[in-house]
Chain A
Amino acid sequence: MFETDTITAISTPIGEGAISIVRLSGRDAIEITSRIYKGKDLHEVESHTIHYGKIIDPETNEVAEEVMVTVMRGPKTFTREEVVEINCHGGLVSVNRVLEIVLNQGARLAEPGEFTKRAFLNGRIDLSQAEAVMDLIRAKTDKAMNVALKQMDGRLSNLIKKYRQSLLETVAHVEVNIDYPEYDDVEEMSNEMMRVKTKEVHSEIEELLSVAKQGKILREGIATAIIGRPNVGKSSLLNALVQENKAIVTDIPGTTRDIIEEYVNVRGIPLRLIDTAGIRETEDIVERIGVERSRQALKEADLILLVLNYNEELTEEDLRLFEVVKGLEFIVIINKTDLDQKLDIEKVKELVEDRRIVSTSLLKEEGIDVLESAIADSFFAGDIDSGDLTYVSNARHIQLLNQAKKALEDAMDSLEMGMPLDIVQIDVTRTWEFLGEIIGDTASDSLIDQLFSQFCLGK
């Protein structure tokens, strides 16, 4: 569980600074990195040197990220172990992708304060600091737990509970067949029943992995649409966001290079600007295709930025736009505050309900900071100050889901090979345990409780 295995985490706070670092420490830090790194042979390079290269995702053989890699051999490192630091472009998408690849290669996500703990256990930190290390572990753990709980979508947690219960019933069924072979009340679990069950949960986990809100944001960015009447400043807004932040240009697999999608990195949160062609057109889309169809078109968006003109009265078209975004996640931007007020702010407030309103003058570059805060707030409830905690909890969920999926696949392989169910069940139980870690439920007595509540057993 600890001491020699290789741990990893994003060691820079989100959204602060242009570079994010994925740090690895442990026996296989260099080995793991070299498996995914294209550049110099990291086994050969001198200690404490930095190298340019590319991170390749071994599963797709695609270039995930251009990076600078620092190799530091123990014991002259912070933890006294082999340490590698992968310096990535800022922003969640790239750094998280690298973290995911590293995790897939066998590194384990570090517990809160674990780098420091290792530094201590390996004698790197002074004796008098032991107390501080223990306090740090406690503080970071409590905080991580709070964040993890807050971050956890209620829907996600309910789904996981549902899958776990379903797996638990299956396992209890196998167990009752084992421990009470003469109990004739329940039909003997068959390989076919197990196959159906594992398949079902497997595809549900896959689904979860692909749509889980956090995971989606981390990997794909927040799909963002900018809408508004002609001439309210949509293009200026886009340019301001792009100028203010580093734009990330990403190749999309399977397409030619000239079709690109634009990412804008706002406070470390990636916005993926969708339907950019549409917003750059000056004609009124709603006018053209109607309210319902516009809603459909915007359904893909996680966030809508609705731009109004401070210098004009609300028009029918504006009202239609409010109709379009009703019930969706949106922020209203009142632009052109450098001009005279003609807009009825009170009326706008009524229409906006509980959503945020931000005033800007894109021409004078005013209010952009406030807008960025509003965007960050709308996704992280506004109370994440800094640190890697958001990452950890999210990446942790994804890692555990992946582990659960992998364990279930092992169970399915055993089934295919015709192994007895009590062997198959070992991996089904592991799946159940991994899912339990996501929601913080690791009580081991649940199975026995389930056994005796589900079946009437005894002499």
Chain B
Amino acid sequence: MVYDAGRYDTIVIGAGHAGVEAGLAAARMGVKTLMLSLNLDMIAFMPCNPSIGGPAKGIVVREIDALGGEMAKTIDKSYIQMRMLNTGKGPAVQALRAQADKPIYIKEMKQTLENQENLTLRQGMVDELIVEDGVCKGVITETGAAYRAETVIITTGTFMRGKVLMGDLEYESGPNNQRPSLKLSENLEALGIELIRFKTGTPPRVNSHTIDYSKTEIQPGDDKPQGFSYETTEFILDQIPCWLTYTNEFTHQVINDNLGLSAMYSGAKRGTGPRYCPSIEDKIVRFHDKPRHQVFLEPEGRDTEEVYVQGLSTSLPESVQHEIVRSVPGLENAEIMRPGYAIEYDSIVPTQLWPTLELKNIPGLFSAGQINGTSGYEEAAAQGIMAGINAAAKVLGKDPVILDRSQAYIGVLIDDLVTKGTKEPYRLLTSRAEYRLLLRHDNADLRLTDIGYELGLISDERYKKFEMKKQQVEEEKKRLRKISIKPTPEVQSMLEAANATPLKEPMKAYDLLKRPELHYDSIDSVIESNESLSTDVKEQVEIQIKYEGYIKKANEQVERMKKMEDKKIPEDIDYDAISGLATEARQKLKLVQPLSVGQASRISGVNPADISILLVYIEHGRIAKLAN
């Protein structure tokens, strides 16, 4: 029996990585928020690998932090290991990656939610949406609770019509044997939302006591204390290593012999899996001449013996999984605690979304996370915070927030999803960002803190610190422009030590720092030191000076594109009335409904001539309006 369970401003369905960011952002912006989760013990649960960050993704975590999100702070409180990746490469591609303590991460995140003002956390399964006159007005749970709200955010991850697959075993389930969400999918379809079937998978977990680590290579964390959040000041120093081992010919033989038993290779039609997250059987089939594949052993936490076997994601029967695991050096006697499995689920075709993550055909309804066809905790969290912000903004009558591709990886992610759609679970890669030199790990705060502060998601105290940093960077750059370094013996020996060409005549400190082999500290050692500066500021000064020319070039590209991004397409545009458009372009434009000419130009199948025609048409409309 349906009963009136109350009224909220925003309801978030799900409390995974997207859900928690959505709920927190909305509540912190001051709107009354309800979060419904199937199981309150599984908040921000990591159903797959126990790690957060990595190339591109780690930068996203920092962006979420700069906007006032929670992922960075929570992982900083719960990591067992932290590493900076790509330190030998340029600043644009460096990124942090943490190994997470899964249970602690859940505990910390749950506590944050419980203590959040304006946020109600409740256990419950949503079966359908309340939609009146085409507008989303709330949700109804399986217990008959009808909650009304102005905006609803779906963040159901891989739960919708989830189906676990392992050999010939298959059953309806969410990840890790949780209850699947079955009715919501049907409800969405009935509301005219197009769904697509995707698939992903996870490897077995083994008991640490049964691993012979002496046959593996140790993978320790960095010694240097570091964290994701700009607010973190205390770092976890007691770190736990990961371990590396390899598959071998015998492993591959076992897999080949049993390929027909794999849920994915049995011939049945299945959802589309991601190429960048293949099962071990995929790897053996597609790269059959590779003699071995890497296997990383990653602890799932400090107070558990479960170890995640990265590299052996599989949907083969449990019996075969034992054989595969035991063929790997170090795992000869390993005991599987949980077998690996593949999971199939429904997602929303993301071209149905506006860049605000609101559904085009159902105002008031937003969606974020894996349900939108992505994969990865970070991608989910990034969409979560943006959906939360925009759902709250709608309630508050504020302008929506859309990050562009030159502002954040989050902008790249969402623009890709809503403009191009995706044919497989979407993962962020650094190569997806055309302005990656601007989207660095080190400047996420400079790019986004203002926006977070404007929304009320960044505290005054933090903002003050941020402004000071910004000012210090500018002043230090100015100072270095003024300081002239002369070819003294001290300077020459510093240069020699750094393998740099000696000076022939005096040079500004600023220009000397442009040399790739020199760093802020090398310059600092031969000039008067500016004691007040933090490492953060020095790093920023060095990067901005050293890569100035390249950054400038990238900014010019952004400027050129900006003219197109700023050219808005009228909401009421009728693409059928534009006779010159090519048929394919017309169809795509009608489907995507781009907001700007810039977005239109990124749709595949829309070519430059179509863009020219579109521009002329828009201008024609503008002139016609003026004439009236």
Interface residues, chain A, with chain B CB atoms under 8 Å away: 1-3, 111-114, 117, 120-121, 123, 127, 130-131, 133-135, 137-138, 141, 171, 175, 177-185, 414, 417-423, 426, 443, 445, 447-448, 451-452, 456-459
Given contacts A134-B580, A179-B56, A458-B276, 10 further A-B contacts (CB under 8 A): A111-B612, A112-B609, A127-B627, A184-B294, A185-B290, A422-B90, A423-B92, A445-B604, A448-B431, A456-B290
CB-CB contacts below 8 Å: B279-300 with A: 283, 286-287, 290, 293-294, 296
Is B156 in the interface zone, CB < 8 Å from A? no
A111: chain B residues at CB < 8 Å are 608-609, 612
Name A178's closest neighbour in chain B (CB-CB): B93
Name A144's closest neighbour in chain B (CB-CB): B609
Name A121's closest neighbour in chain B (CB-CB): B619
Is B624 in the interface zone, CB < 8 Å from A? yes
A137 and B616 within 8 A (CB): yes
A458 and B283 within 8 A (CB): yes
B278: chain A residues at CB < 8 Å are 456-458
B429: chain A residues at CB < 8 Å are 175, 179, 448, 451
A181 and B86 within 8 A (CB): yes
User: Once the chains are docked, how many angstroms separate the CA of A134 from the CA of B277?
Assistant: 45
A423 and B437 within 8 A (CB): yes
Is B89 in the interface zone, CB < 8 Å from A? yes
A171: chain B residues at CB < 8 Å are 431
The 9 closest A-B pairs by CB, nearest first: A420-B90, A134-B580, A141-B609, A130-B620, A456-B287, A418-B516, A452-B275, A138-B580, A422-B90
Name A141's closest neighbour in chain B (CB-CB): B609
CB-defined interface of B551-577 with A at 8 Å, one 1/0 digit per residue? Answer: 000100000110110000000000000
Interface residues, chain B, with chain A CB atoms under 8 Å away: 48-49, 55-56, 85-86, 88-90, 92-93, 203, 274-278, 283, 286-287, 290, 293-294, 296, 310-311, 313, 429-432, 436-437, 516-517, 547, 550, 554, 560-561, 563-564, 578-580, 582, 604, 608-609, 612-613, 615-617, 619-620, 623-624, 627
Known: A178-B55, A418-B516, A420-B90. A134 touches B578 (CB 8 A): yes
Interface of A is mostly: helix
* 28 A/B residue pairs, CB under 8 Å, sorted by A: A1-B560, A2-B563, A111-B609, A114-B612, A117-B616, A121-B616, A131-B579, A134-B616, A135-B579, A137-B612, A138-B609, A141-B609, A177-B89, A179-B429, A179-B431, A181-B55, A181-B86, A184-B294, A419-B550, A420-B88, A420-B89, A420-B90, A422-B92, A445-B604, A451-B429, A451-B431, A459-B49, A459-B313
B563: chain A residues at CB < 8 Å are 1-3
User: Once the chains are docked, how many angstroms separate the CA of A111 from the CA of B613?
Assistant: 12
User: Once the chains are docked, how many angstroms separate the CA of A179 from the CA of B48?
Assistant: 19
A459: chain B residues at CB < 8 Å are 48-49, 203, 277, 310-311, 313
A130: chain B residues at CB < 8 Å are 616-617, 619-620
Name B500's closest neighbour in chain A (CB-CB): A418
User: Once the chains are docked, how many angstroms separate the CA of A387 from the CA of B516?
Assistant: 51
Q: How far is the CB of A388 from chain B (nearest CB, A)?
A: 17
B283 and A456 within 8 A (CB): yes
Partner of B89, one of A134, A178, A414: A178
B48: chain A residues at CB < 8 Å are 459
Name A459's closest neighbour in chain B (CB-CB): B310
B609 and A137 within 8 A (CB): yes
Q: How far is the CB of B234 from chain A (nearest CB, A)?
A: 27
Q: How far is the CB of B250 from chain A (nearest CB, A)?
A: 18
Name B91's closest neighbour in chain A (CB-CB): A420
A420: chain B residues at CB < 8 Å are 88-90, 516
Q: How far is the CB of A246 from chain B (nearest CB, A)?
A: 37
Q: How far is the CB of B97 from chain A (nearest CB, A)?
A: 9
User: Once the chains are docked, how many angstroms separate the CA of A350 from the CA of B561?
Assistant: 60
A2: chain B residues at CB < 8 Å are 563, 612, 615
A134 and B294 within 8 A (CB): no
A134 and B287 within 8 A (CB): no
B561: chain A residues at CB < 8 Å are 1
A123 and B623 within 8 A (CB): yes
User: Once the chains are docked, how many angstroms separate the CA of A177 from the CA of B55?
Assistant: 10
B310 and A423 within 8 A (CB): no
B89 and A421 within 8 A (CB): yes
Name B435's closest neighbour in chain A (CB-CB): A426
A426 and B612 within 8 A (CB): no
B203: chain A residues at CB < 8 Å are 459
User: Once the chains are docked, how many angstroms separate the CA of A418 from the CA of B90?
Assistant: 11
A1: chain B residues at CB < 8 Å are 560-561, 563-564
Known: A448-B429, A458-B276. A133 touches B93 (CB 8 A): no
A134 and B311 within 8 A (CB): no
Known: A175-B431, A417-B516, A458-B277. A120 touches B619 (CB 8 A): yes
User: Once the chains are docked, how many angstroms separate the CA of A81 from the CA of B88?
Assistant: 49
Taking each of B48, B561, B613, which has the highest tally of chain A beta carbons within 10 Å of its own beta carbon? Answer: B613
B580 and A137 within 8 A (CB): yes
Q: How far is the CB of B55 from chain A (nearest CB, A)?
A: 5
B623 and A182 within 8 A (CB): no
Known: A127-B620, A178-B55. A422 touches B89 (CB 8 A): yes
Q: How far is the CB of B48 from chain A (nearest CB, A)?
A: 8
Q: How far is the CB of A448 from chain B (nearest CB, A)?
A: 7
Q: How far is the CB of A183 from chain B (nearest CB, A)?
A: 7
Q: How far is the CB of B311 from chain A (nearest CB, A)?
A: 6
User: Once the chains are docked, how many angstroms separate the CA of A114 from the CA of B430?
Assistant: 35
User: Once the chains are docked, how many angstroms separate the CA of A412 from the CA of B311?
Assistant: 37
User: Once the chains are docked, how many angstroms separate the CA of A185 from the CA of B247?
Assistant: 13
Name B431's closest neighbour in chain A (CB-CB): A175
Name B564's closest neighbour in chain A (CB-CB): A1
Taking each of A117, A123, A130, A178, which has the highest tally of chain B beta carbons within 10 Å of its own beta carbon? Answer: A178
